Amino acid sequence: MSLSARIILVLTCVGLLSGGFLATVGLLTKERIALNREKEIEEAILAVVPGASSSQKLYEGEGLTIYAGKDASGVLRGYAIHASGVGFQDKIVLMFGTNPALTKIRKLAVLEQKETPGLGAKITDEESFLRYWEEKDCTTELKLRKPAASSPQELSPSEVNTITGATISSEAVLKTVNLSLKLLKGLQLERELLGEEKDEE
């Protein structure tokens, strides 16, 4: 066999074999990987909408996904909004829950971030950031408290806290939440959300 024929044969075989192998591995793991992602989202929804025990996707578009959180008897306990925004280093993906009337933010959770460890990464920290987001009045736009307050009681109902040294990350979270709320309320005005909701119940 000439050298070039051998080269072609060997490379083709190596490519085909590893391709076939990878296709098999891909098929075997695909389901589990998708399941892991769903589970992660489901857990986040139930965590940000207190009292909810099941969730249902209502709307997807414009960079946000909206879920309804319902309790065991099917009563709507609130909405969970899955959104992302640009942080200091990379995308910040977060989830926050509201009450059914969309007047209050129940809780916030940060799902993905690559902020600076020890500074911006504190947005995932309960003690220094997340607890300041509980039960916030979101009838108007939320505002950032700067310099940072040291306890949730110091903040007004529509204020959230800054992380000292990580204003950009705190602002990025706030901006994402405010923008999502604006879009969400726009949707509600068009009765897309509520309309769908009524049809089901």
Residues forming the site for another protein (CB under 8 A): 3, 6-7, 10-11, 14-15, 18, 21-22, 25-26, 29, 32-33, 36, 40, 112, 116-119
**Interatomic CA distance for residues 40 and 99, integer angstroms:** 21
Nearest C-alpha neighbor of 183 from the set 41, 55, 59 = 59
Q: What is the closest distance, in whole angstroms, from the C-beta atom of residue 169 to another protein in the complex?
A: 15
Q: Which is nearer to another protein, 15 or 63 (CB)?
A: 15
Q: Which is nearer to another protein, 47 or 179 (CB)?
A: 47
As a dihedral over the C-alpha atoms of residue 90, residue 99, residue 158, residue 173, rounded to 10 degrees, the angle is 0
Residue 2's CB is within 10 A of a number of other CB atoms, namely 7
Q: What is the closest distance, in whole angstroms, from the C-beta atom of residue 139 to another protein in the complex?
A: 35
Which H/E stretch holds residue 69? Answer: strand 64-70
Q: What is the closest distance, in whole angstroms, from the C-beta atom of residue 51 to another protein in the complex?
A: 26
Q: Which is nearer to another protein, 128 or 158 (CB)?
A: 128
